[in-house]
Chains A and B, each alone.
Chain A
Amino acid sequence: MSLREQAEKDLKGIMEDETTGFGWPVTIVNPLGVNLSLIALSGDISQTIDPDTGQLVSGRLAYCSIRMSSLFAGGMGIPEGISDSDRLPWLVTFNDINGVSHTFKVYKSSPDRALGIVDLVLEGWK
């Protein structure tokens, strides 16, 4: 097994260990409404941004990193940001540490096909 293949296998312990690691249950819904539950890395933290006016605006950065092989094993493709208003976006749902569920829209998808990880930047969804 090459080191690269070994690195991909190690992702299971790094990204999908919800018992002793940072793995966290997430649910992904594709534009067709098909959903898949898996373990991934996710986060939702506050930050401040400046829309260039000189005034700081409080904001939030939500993200999710998923092992691509787990997506493929569940019959899913790679999530992507969808700008078209006549299509539903990819959605990601996960609980915060206190058990409150939050649903997000996939804003930007950055797949790392060399290692087999896709990083998702998420946007608020109501």
Chain B
Amino acid sequence: MIQELINKQDNFELVGQKIVDILKTEIENQKTLALANGSNPLDWNLRIFYERSNAWEQYLNNTVIETPIVNVWLDNSSYNRNDSNEIEYQTAESTYNIDVYGYGKASADGSGGQNAGDLQASLNLFRAIRLVRNIIMASNYTYLDMRGVVSRRWPESISIFQPQLDNVNMQQIVGSRLALRVQYLEFSPQYTGESIEEIFATVISKETSEVLLEAEYDYT
């Protein structure tokens, strides 16, 4: 029987949460930097969610806020037998979908023309994707702040989606998906054997008789 309570989080959970943490922290940092630079910090603002399916309610009830929405969710995981240890750890590769939605509302441009809502939605979306990609792929986060666990992260693709024409909507919304592939180690509970015998070893230099190393091992 496994002797310990399995109350840890697996790394596939921690990696997803870490991606969200990094995005949230860096977005706040970007807003501070924008303010110091004399720019409007709201242009660097994103609303970030984790594993949500209804993060979009603001688009229905509060159509004033045009802040892009980001939702990070785990899509799939696979395990590589060649890089894994049968007993202790497995090398896993997971795809985290970072869905980004941009919203725009048409308005008069003040000079007899209009700012088209669909264009605004796309521009807001591109701004959001730009921020997400730059933050995740910054060299500061080569190992997503989980060195020793994460060995690689790579943006596999960015796809842009537009609503179908038949689904013409009062809101102009454009969606996109950044598929982020992350390679990391996944650990499992280990059997702890009872100590049967203690081994004491000493390494002595043949030439000088100097004691180079003393070691003690529990042999199970």
Contacts and interface: CB of A to CB of B under 8 A. Distances in A.
Contacts of A50: 163, 167
Interface in A104-119: 104-105, 107-108
Which size bracket describes the interface of B in this complex? 35 or more
A85 B119 contact: yes
B78 interface: no
- The residue among B60, B116, B170, B175 with the most chain A CB atoms within 10 A of its own CB is B170
Contacts of B64: 126
B161 A59 contact: no
A83 to B, nearest CB: 7
A55 interface: yes
A47 interface: yes
B170 A124 contact: yes
**What 3 A-B pairs have minimum CB-CB distances, sorted nearest first?**
A58-B60, A51-B175, A52-B161
A86 B176 CA distance: 28
A62 interface: yes
A4 interface: no
Contact of A126 (B57, B106, B161, B163): B106
Interface in B177-207: 177
A108 B168 CA distance: 9
A30 B132 CA distance: 41
A52 B175 CA distance: 8
